[in-house]
Chain A
Amino acid sequence: MESQFTYLGLIVLFPLLGAIINGVVGSRLNRKLVGWIGSGSILLAFFYSLASTLYLYNHGHDSEYGDLTYTAFQWIYAGDLGLDIAFLMDPLTSVMVLVITGVGFLIHVYSIGYMEDDPGTWRYFAYLNLFCFAMLMLVLGKNMLVTFIGWEGVGLCSYLLIGFWYEDDANAVAGQKAFIVNRVGDFAFLAGLFLLYYQTGTFDYVALEQMASTPAGIATMAPVALPAALLIFVGCTGKSAQIPLYTWLPDAMAGPTPVSALIHAATMVTAGVFLISRTHFLFTIDPAIGLTVATVGTLTAFFAATIAVVQDDIKKVLAYSTISQLGYMFMAVGVGAFTAGIFHLMTHAFFKALLFLGSGSVIHAMGGDQNIQNMGGLRKWMPVTALTFLAACLAISGFPLLSGFFSKDLILWSALSNAHVLSIPGLFDGTIPAAALTVEQAQPLASGGPVDVTATSAAFHWFFYIGGLLTAGLTAFYMFRLYFLTFEGECRADEETKAHLHEAPMSMTVPLSVLGILSVIGGWIGWPHFVPKGWLGSGHKGGHGADHAADAGWTIQDVMLGFEHWLDEVFVVSDTFRIVGRFGAHPYSAEMICTAASVLVGLSGIAAAWWVYLKNPGLPKEIADSVEGLYNLLDNAYWVDELYDSLFVQGAIKVGSFFHAFDKIVIDGVVVDGLGWLAEQAGRILSYLQSGDVQRYATYIVVAIVLIVLTILTI
């Protein structure tokens, strides 16, 4: 048991300790020391995350890596309800934990340089550590309640950090907006959680998964699967900034830039993707759930990308880009490609954190100016930032062999090729109950040939694919618009700013470089299947874990598909029984065409950006003028904020003021004051009993006893 504590308990404990130390005595400590305490605690957590990942790897059986669990304490036992603060570490969690602590550590180190001159450094690091603690709770939770505690914790920290410079009203308002919008999602999440609990009687992921893999269990779950999953999904749209609850994320950029990098790009906003992956067995029960999720994801990805095209604020571009990339991840988990979603989550954490940190470096150099129209040619002054930024731009645009290319390609391919078993004609045409889903392996699929899916399903999947492809083009375009306007061409800043331009200090450039390397190589463990299997031959030996360790002879294929093998066992329930590839067992040529298409689209996006912004710098203005309506629409983000404001906010205010008046006059005036008056008068009368006279007290006692005795004995 101690070992479990070392592995799981300490991962969570270190950031918490860091937060406590910095929060309690941080104000009296040296600013540098505060920063190193903050970073050091995350580094330690990172080491223990590595150790536990290795533990999983080395202790895997046959075809499974298994998991680690640790019950910190038993929290509440009342009747049937038993709640443990328990942690679970499986391959999925290990990926998340490594990203959170690894990227988190780099961002902490970066923050030391970034927040150098801020008087509230200790507060900043305390919040940041607290955030890491909450985020680790979220991903390590063994039951949904622990996840929910972390979920609320990260929301709180996000609120605190967005409004970190609370002296400025706008920042405080942005923090509140994030908090309130998230509250809407959290409410739905909580409702879904209780609905699920009401039906299944457990919050535990392992128990739920077991339930979802037996016919009897699934029969229990099926009635609430759709509503519960959709409610949880609404919660996810809040936290992960998807339609309709994405509006808080662009405003959240008011916080310090490293915060945007850590919370609003790399970790917290991906919590929704993680949660759906964690509860994948629930989300794949009914095909309607997946289609809903993927549709929302696709729409978000596309519309956010269109908005990003016209933004001039460097962080706003990145914010909308984040929303758009998160849309990709939801598209992936929606079509049942959970591995792809998590893969993109990881690579996205690398390159988007890098983009934010790079933008922070630029903002730092520009003296706080965030408008890219005032930049240009910065490469001359900040070579490291420019180079790493370029790497990240290439990665996010899907430039071949960079990390984003692999993950995005996998998502697009899955969007096109995946199908839910229920959407295959003739297989389960309404005669077989949902219970069969878990026991009947889809036999016709085992033959390996292409599968005939229903027209509706095919249409949806084509929609996802084309939407994703268009978004990929837009992404490449707006990212390189950003890059060219910032780092290339002539510098448009005024002389004074120019004089101050400088490369960031070491503590900032080192994390940039590390993330730059990760952005380049981070995807080399998830090649499209046609490369290792089609071209290099099927050298995969099958079996993982102990086998690997035993013969230590990895084939190149094992490495190239490493990510997939690592996560295989986590999604086995969905992958084996519910999600099928409709192009047959070895659709290498189709996969290749698909890859080629996305490479082509990405490159043309880059080329277009080059053409418009470097070659013909006057062109953007002309285009904007010629389609002014569209430009305004995009520039104002489809007026969604204004729509929400008039619909919900003003409405809520009106309802609120009505209730305020009601409260003041009826509740407060009549009920409360009236009752209070009554209570006080009654109390006054009763206190007359208290004469202070002992004889009288004794008399009261005697009278009371006599009354009781008479009452009882006279019956």
Chain B
Amino acid sequence: MPTIALLTPPAWAEFAGILPGLIPALTALVLILLNVFHRGTESPRDYLAYVASIGLGLTLVTCWVLWDDTLTRPIFHGTLYLDRFSLFFTGLCSASGLLAMLMSPRFLRSHGLDRVEYYMLILLSVSGMAFLVQSADLLTFFVAFEAMSIPVYCIAAFMRRDARSAEAGMKYFILGAFSAALMLYGIAMLYGATGTTNLEVIGETVIGLMTDPASQSANGIIMLGMLLVLSGFAFKVAAAPFHLWTPDVYNGSPTPSVGFMATAVKAAAFAPMIRVLNTAFGHVGQMGAGEAVQMISLRGGFYGYGWIDVLLVLAGASMVLGNLVAITQSNVKRMLAYSSIAHAGYILVGFIASGAEADFFLYHDAVLFYLVSYTFGTLGAFGVLAYFERQGRSVETYDDLAGLGWQFPTIGLLMGTFMFSSAGIPPTAGFVGKLYVFKSAVDVGQATGDLTFIWLAVLAVLTSVAGVYYYLRVLVSMYMYERDEELEGVGHPAAKFALVVCGFFSLYLGILPGGAMDMSRQAVIDMAGAPESIQEVQQDGREALQERLGVADEGGASDE
């Protein structure tokens, strides 16, 4: 049943659904107002970062409050969802933006760019992300997608006197626009074939079209449209071979914001990817029947040539390319850029496993958890680089890092945590994230008897071994090489705080992943708009979770 709302004014309860996106946007307006009253061009504007952080903190709290008040039906005439799935991602993106902003003031001042626009752009981007992860319609989806992307292009070019930054912004913008155009073209085709932009209706219509022999000609258009939309996602999550912008953009952009780009943008792109692919193109017919072969062709399955197969190629290519090229880099920022491509590959492994059949839908919680663990590790790593960066002295090659571990013991320790987490060494969050993702691939492989999943997991493990090499090289530089000259010690309490938070979660989620795992599981179970086959799985998962938590509660009660 498509759950499209009738054309009646939205109920009051629905307005709660736009709060997560509204708060960052309003905060951005507050920042402009505050800035008007700022006196003196030289005085620091750190407080703007704090106000902006409070705004995002408020967004986080809103997500927390709304967690138990989600709706299964789309709001605002079928354009947005308010479900835990979107709240989870909004929360993650807000946290990422918040930490990135806290890392920024000192960096911006030292580059003579202590301006309000920087924080505004991040806030507006987060606002776009909030709507993006909620979108129930390809139109809201596309608008939100651009609302997220355009501020990020501007941030990339923010250090406008720096040629590399300008180049980064330009490249990101051109390629982003190019990819968005392709995506829009894909959306147009889907609209042409189905006559709607609503995800659920597309999902229903697609079945009808695909099973109807009379409309075979539409199949090609739907497939092409889906692939073009998919290419847009692949571009944003930086999966090979759509990754080419990544190293250049990450290298040139202001370092603390790169952390934001690498984590929040990636997470915000994965969320609609899960939603769009599963809702609109996720119907799985019974295997074996003659017409069912047609029906599963959008999703694919191994070598049935659907989106699963495309993503399989992308995942393999991303893991291999990301890790191999990262080895050869001498610039840490570029290395991290390539490693983020590799991470996209690992996430896609979990994505493929959980998307392979409707029955495995709950394995998406591994993807969500991986994104959380990845966020803290990567954000922290870029934060450390930003922490060391001074005007006229960028700290971005391995040589630049030499000996810094001894000079800044706390930061060194934190960097160690981030590198361990990114490399997936226990007891860090990255390890648990990788474990769950790879385990989901192996589990699905065992359940389906399809060896491809196992080989994918093997490839993932092998390539992540290569990853250990370049991550640990950072620590080798920081601790085992002598430094010629001292780096003057200018820190910033907010930046340090943000780094400690990242470090704390990188360890906490590695040692006690239970809570975050449960939240991921709930988010997946609560994802609204999924087709019926998936809804059944969600329902089973909901019951299982209730039973487990219920049993745990009872266990506690019997202790009385």
Q: Is A680 an interface residue (CB 8 A)?
A: yes
Give Cα A687–Cα B330 distance, bound, in whole angstroms. 12
User: Which stretch in B171-179, B280-288, B404-412 binds the other chain?
Assistant: B171-179
Q: B310 near A694 (CB under 8 angstroms)?
A: no
CB closest residue in chain A, given B171: A694
Neighbouring B residues of A73 by C-beta, 8 Å: 512, 514
Q: A705 near B244 (CB under 8 angstroms)?
A: no
Q: B559 near A709 (CB under 8 angstroms)?
A: no
Neighbouring A residues of B517 by C-beta, 8 Å: 77
- B-side interface residues, number (CB < 8 Å): 47
Q: Is B391 an interface residue (CB 8 A)?
A: no
Q: A704 near B223 (CB under 8 angstroms)?
A: no
Q: A709 near B324 (CB under 8 angstroms)?
A: no
Q: Residue-by-residue, is B436-479 near A (CB-CB < 8 Å gives 1, otherwise 0)?
A: 00010000000000000000000000000010010000000000
Q: Is B117 an interface residue (CB 8 A)?
A: no
Neighbouring A residues of B47 by C-beta, 8 Å: none
Q: B324 near A701 (CB under 8 angstroms)?
A: no
Q: Is A74 an interface residue (CB 8 A)?
A: yes
CB closest residue in chain B, given A73: B512
Q: A687 near B325 (CB under 8 angstroms)?
A: yes
User: Which stretch in B84-92, B227-235, B353-361 binds the other chain?
Assistant: B227-235
Q: B227 near A708 (CB under 8 angstroms)?
A: yes
The 8 closest A-B pairs by CB, nearest first: A683-B324, A683-B328, A697-B244, A704-B241, A683-B325, A712-B305, A687-B325, A682-B324
Contact A1:B227 (CB < 8 A) given known A684-B328, A686-B324, A704-B241: no
Q: Which of A70, A71, A698, A705 contacts B175 (CB 8 A)?
A: A698
Contact A1:B560 (CB < 8 A) given known A701-B178, A705-B231: yes
Known: A71-B555, A73-B512, A712-B309. 7 other contacts (CB 8 A): A77-B548, A682-B324, A686-B321, A692-B248, A704-B242, A705-B231, A708-B313
Give Cα A711–Cα B182 distance, bound, in whole angstroms. 18
Q: Is B494 an interface residue (CB 8 A)?
A: no
Q: Is B327 an interface residue (CB 8 A)?
A: yes
Q: B514 near A69 (CB under 8 angstroms)?
A: no
Contacts A/B (CB < 8 Å), 26 sampled: A4-B559, A76-B514, A78-B439, A676-B469, A679-B327, A680-B327, A683-B328, A686-B321, A689-B244, A690-B244, A690-B325, A694-B170, A694-B171, A694-B174, A694-B175, A697-B175, A698-B174, A701-B175, A701-B178, A701-B182, A701-B235, A701-B244, A705-B227, A712-B223, A712-B310, A713-B224
Neighbouring A residues of B178 by C-beta, 8 Å: 698, 701
Contact A705:B228 (CB < 8 A) given known A76-B514, A682-B324, A712-B305: yes
Contact A690:B247 (CB < 8 A) given known A71-B556, A701-B175: yes
CB closest residue in chain B, given A713: B220
Give Cα A76–Cα B435 distance, bound, in whole angstroms. 13
Smallest distance from the beta carbon of A152 to chain B beta carbons, Å?
A: 14
Q: B324 near A679 (CB under 8 angstroms)?
A: yes
Q: Is A700 an interface residue (CB 8 A)?
A: yes
Smallest distance from the beta carbon of B433 to chain A beta carbons, Å?
A: 13
Q: Is A643 an interface residue (CB 8 A)?
A: no
Neighbouring B residues of A709 by C-beta, 8 Å: 223-224, 227
Q: B248 near A683 (CB under 8 angstroms)?
A: no
Q: Residue-by-residue, is A1-15 near B (CB-CB < 8 Å gives 1, otherwise 0)?
A: 100100000000000
Q: Which of B511-529 contact A (CB under 8 A)?
A: 512-514, 517-518
Neighbouring B residues of A712 by C-beta, 8 Å: 223, 227, 305-306, 309-310
Q: Is A715 an interface residue (CB 8 A)?
A: yes
Neighbouring A residues of B326 by C-beta, 8 Å: 683
Smallest distance from the beta carbon of B466 to chain A beta carbons, Å?
A: 6
Give Cα A435–Cα B229 distance, bound, in whole angstroms. 64
Q: A74 near B174 (CB under 8 angstroms)?
A: no
Give Cα A501–Cα B466 distance, bound, in whole angstroms. 64
Q: A77 near B514 (CB under 8 angstroms)?
A: yes
Q: Which of A686, A690, A705, A713 contacts B223 (CB 8 A)?
A: A713
Give Cα A639–Cα B231 distance, bound, in whole angstroms. 73
Q: B305 near A711 (CB under 8 angstroms)?
A: yes
Neighbouring A residues of B171 by C-beta, 8 Å: 694, 697
Neighbouring B residues of A697 by C-beta, 8 Å: 171, 175, 244-245
Smallest distance from the beta carbon of A148 to chain B beta carbons, Å?
A: 16
Q: B227 near A683 (CB under 8 angstroms)?
A: no
Q: Is B552 an interface residue (CB 8 A)?
A: yes
Q: Is A644 an interface residue (CB 8 A)?
A: no
CB closest residue in chain A, given B182: A705
Q: Which of A69, A680, A698, A700 contacts B328 (CB 8 A)?
A: A680
Q: Is A658 an interface residue (CB 8 A)?
A: no
CB closest residue in chain B, given A76: B514
Give Cα A55–Cα B518 distance, bound, in whole angstroms. 35
Smallest distance from the beta carbon of A75 to chain B beta carbons, Å?
A: 6
Neighbouring A residues of B244 by C-beta, 8 Å: 689-690, 697, 700-701
Smallest distance from the beta carbon of B426 to chain A beta carbons, Å?
A: 12
Neighbouring A residues of B552 by C-beta, 8 Å: 74
Neighbouring A residues of B469 by C-beta, 8 Å: 676
Give Cα A686–Cα B323 distance, bound, in whole angstroms. 11
Smallest distance from the beta carbon of B416 to chain A beta carbons, Å?
A: 19
Give Cα A652–Cα B326 distance, bound, in whole angstroms. 39
Q: A1 near B559 (CB under 8 angstroms)?
A: yes
Give Cα A704–Cα B240 distance, bound, in whole angstroms. 9
Give Cα A69–Cα B560 distance, bound, in whole angstroms. 9
CB closest residue in chain B, given A71: B556
Give Cα A686–Cα B248 distance, bound, in whole angstroms. 15
Q: Which of B170-209 contact A (CB under 8 A)?
A: 170-171, 174-175, 178-179, 182
Q: Which of A65-90 contact B (CB under 8 A)?
A: 68-71, 73-78
Neighbouring A residues of B466 by C-beta, 8 Å: 679
Q: Which of B229-282 contact A (CB under 8 A)?
A: 231, 235, 241-242, 244-245, 247-248
Q: A708 near B310 (CB under 8 angstroms)?
A: yes
Give Cα A1–Cα B227 distance, bound, in whole angstroms. 55
Smallest distance from the beta carbon of A701 to chain B beta carbons, Å?
A: 6
Smallest distance from the beta carbon of B169 to chain A beta carbons, Å?
A: 12
Smallest distance from the beta carbon of B396 to chain A beta carbons, Å?
A: 16
Neighbouring A residues of B439 by C-beta, 8 Å: 78
CB closest residue in chain B, given A678: B324
Give Cα A708–Cα B227 distance, bound, in whole angstroms. 8
Q: Which of A1, A4, A683 contacts B327 (CB 8 A)?
A: A683
Neighbouring A residues of B559 by C-beta, 8 Å: 1, 4, 68-71
CB closest residue in chain A, given B321: A686
Neighbouring A residues of B328 by C-beta, 8 Å: 680, 683-684, 687
Q: A76 near B174 (CB under 8 angstroms)?
A: no
Neighbouring B residues of A700 by C-beta, 8 Å: 241, 244
Smallest distance from the beta carbon of A48 to chain B beta carbons, Å?
A: 17
Q: B556 near A1 (CB under 8 angstroms)?
A: yes
Neighbouring B residues of A689 by C-beta, 8 Å: 244
Smallest distance from the beta carbon of B516 to chain A beta carbons, Å?
A: 12
CB closest residue in chain B, given A704: B241
CB closest residue in chain A, given B466: A679
Neighbouring A residues of B560 by C-beta, 8 Å: 1
Neighbouring B residues of A690 by C-beta, 8 Å: 244, 247-248, 325
Give Cα A679–Cα B170 distance, bound, in whole angstroms. 32
Q: Which of B324, B514, B518 contacts A75 (CB 8 A)?
A: B514
Neighbouring B residues of A70 by C-beta, 8 Å: 559
Give Cα A1–Cα B557 distance, bound, in whole angstroms. 8
Smallest distance from the beta carbon of A203 to chain B beta carbons, Å?
A: 15
Choose among A1, A686, A712 the residue with the greatest number of B CB atoms under 10 Å from its CB: A712
Smallest distance from the beta carbon of A82 to chain B beta carbons, Å?
A: 8
Q: Which of A586-614 contact B (CB under 8 A)?
A: none
Q: Which of A662-715 contact B (CB under 8 A)?
A: 676, 679-680, 682-684, 686-687, 689-690, 692, 694, 697-698, 700-701, 704-705, 708-709, 711-713, 715
Give Cα A700–Cα B243 distance, bound, in whole angstroms. 10
Q: A701 near B179 (CB under 8 angstroms)?
A: yes
Neighbouring A residues of B323 by C-beta, 8 Å: 679
Smallest distance from the beta carbon of A358 to chain B beta carbons, Å?
A: 42
CB closest residue in chain A, given B167: A692
Smallest distance from the beta carbon of B525 to chain A beta carbons, Å?
A: 15
